[in-house]
Amino acid sequence: MTYAHVGALDMYYEVHGTGDGAPLVLLHGGVLTIDLSFGSLILKFAADRTVIATELQGHGRTADIDREIDLKYLASDVAGLLDHLGVDRADVFGFSLGGGTALQFALDHPDRVRKLVIASAAYSPDGFQPDIMDPALQATSTRMPSADDFAEMRDAYQRIAPDPGYFEEFLGKISRAAMTHPGWTAAELGSITAPTMLVFGDNDFFRLEHAVAMRELIPGAQLAVLPGTTHMDVTRRTSVIYPVVSEFLAGRGGGPPRRCPGD
């Protein structure tokens, strides 16, 4: 297993592929792992580029530390990982929590993002569907993760996490972070300079009106809505999402990949 020491964090990461395309950073969803979010996509992307997949603070093989789950911290961790690997600029594809991290990374480190893919992440708390925010409605919601989804998360955590018994406490920490994040302003979204694609499922956690508004706020952003797709299935529907994202990443714009000086 491979780790980068980033501040107080020992950050697990994997590198796949060696192609000529721009490096691609994959950022997984909350309480998920690299494999649970991107297992079916990594090898496809790695066919013609280097893919860097990491597990964020407290997720998978990366142990939690005494620090809140805050997107600014997570984005800083990603920057530290790229420094460790000698990668100056890359494409970034984040899903859910990883999508929020990718957005924050693009705001904090704009010169390090060639192209940006944000999947299933809202820019403000009012983007959530009512049944996601209301506990009374969650039990009958078709949008919520299933019992099998939660079992898969728990099993993966208990199998690979440094502290397998920490799952319930960490789940609460992630939930608090998700419910208290204030989001971003229209001005912040308007300042994003990287070519951006937004991806949502048509039965996602978030209102499609919110996704459309997000597209309008990010200059030149593209929006893809995957049919018959819940939040948990957005990155699992390989045959649907891969052609959309790969075509966007391969298209014009964003400039050539760059490496750190002297690398």
Strands 49-54 and 9-16 turn out to be antiparallel
Three-class DSSP category at 8:
coil
Which residues span the domain enclosing 58? 2-250
CA distance 72 to 55: 16
Residue 256 lies in a domain: no
Contact 75, 108 (CB under 8 A): yes
Please name the amino acid found at residue 163. D
Total domain count, the chain: 1
Domain presence at residue 259: no
Sign of CA dihedral 63, 67, 69, 70: negative
* Within a domain: 258: no
Give the distance, in angstroms, between the CA of residue 253 and the centroid of all CA atoms in the same chain. Answer: 22
Here the tokens at position 114 are: 């060639």
- d(C-alpha 137, C-alpha 189), whole Å: 31
Question: Which of 174, 163, 13, 164 minimizes the C-alpha distance to 84?
Answer: 13
Q: Is residue 257 part of a domain?
A: no
3-state secondary structure 184-212: CCHHHHHCCCCCEEEEEEEECCECHHHHH
**The residue to which tokens 């079916």 are assigned:** 40
Domain assignment present for residue 150? The answer is yes
Q: In this structure, is residue 190 part of a structural domain?
A: yes
Instruction: Name the pTM for this structure.
Output: 0.93
In a domain, 255, yes or no: no
Per-residue pLDDT in tens (0 to 9) along the chain, 263 residues: 799 999 999 999 999 998 888 999 999 999 999 999 999 999 999 999 999 999 999 999 999 999 999 999 999 999 999 999 999 999 999 999 999 999 999 999 999 999 999 999 999 999 887 767 667 667 667 778 888 999 999 999 999 999 999 999 999 999 899 888 999 999 999 999 999 999 999 999 899 999 999 999 999 999 999 999 999 999 999 999 999 999 999 986 554 433 333 33
How many Å apart are CA 39 and CA 236, to the nearest integer?
8
- Identify whether 244 is part of a domain: yes
User: ∠ CA 98-183-252 to the nearest 5 degrees?
Assistant: 55
CATH of the domain at 123: 3.40.50.1820
